Amino acid sequence: MTNNSRIVIAIFLAAASICVFPVNALVLRIHQSGPILSVTPDSVVIKVGDSANVSLVLSNSPSDFKVCFGVEDFPNSGFVTTFSPPCVRTESPNFAVLTVEATPAAAPQNFTAYVVATSGNWTSRAPINVTVEPAMPAWIPWSIILVFIIILLIPVIIKRKGKR
């Protein structure tokens, strides 16, 4: 086999693999065993003490499923998540609302959590990026502390000036 024929075969195999891959991905997408979960918005910013709502929508429902929602990868403390309704049937209006509340125990942070839809052994996950901001800017409590310290020092300063 000559070098030219090896190059032609290599180019043919590379082109064939590029053409076949999208078809395989499409076939896998069509044969998915359950609905696809999507969230809107997929990114929320919550101040400590506030809450945010995220819409959940199921699409491509091949048949009647009872789907229940949950969350994964939320921090262990500082958040309350509620679904309204907690479960839906895919043949009826197939949307729900996730409410995420950042309690006073929540620390300012950024993380990615997942909304999970399950029905039997079928599961679909959708990521949601959560940014938690302090309830007030950091300079406000520090300013209050500084003013408090100055108020405490005023009598000490006045007494020293009076002794001179």
CA-closest candidate to residue 130, choices 38, 42, 55, 49: 42
Query: In this predicted structure, what is the pLDDT of residue 10?
Result: 58
CA 76 to chain centre: 15
For residue 34, report the phi and psi dihedrals to the nearest 5 degrees: -160, 180
Question: Which residue's structure tokens are 């406000």?
Answer: 140
Query: Is 83 within a domain?
Result: yes
Which sign, positive or negative, has the C-alpha torsion 78, 107, 101, 137? positive
The answer to whether residues 26 and 38 belong to one domain is no
pLDDT tens string, the chain, 164 residues long: the values are 566 666 656 565 555 555 544 444 333 333 445 678 899 999 999 999 999 999 999 887 767 778 899 999 999 889 999 999 999 887 766 789 999 999 999 999 999 999 999 988 888 999 999 999 988 766 777 888 888 888 888 888 787 776 66
The answer to whether residues 77 and 27 belong to one domain is no
CATH number, position 60: 2.60.40.10
Give per-residue burial for 66-100: e unless 16+ CB within 10 Å, then b: ebebebeebeeebbebebeeeebebeeebebebeb
Domain that holds residue 23: 1-31
The answer to whether residues 9 and 68 belong to one domain is no
Query: Is 11 within a domain?
Result: yes
The answer to whether residues 61 and 124 belong to one domain is yes
The answer to whether residues 45 and 118 belong to one domain is yes
ω into residue 93 within 30 of 0, thus cis?
Answer: no
Query: Is 148 within a domain?
Result: no
SS3 at position 104: coil
Structural domains counted in the chain: 2
Query: Is 155 within a domain?
Result: no
Query: Is 84 within a domain?
Result: yes
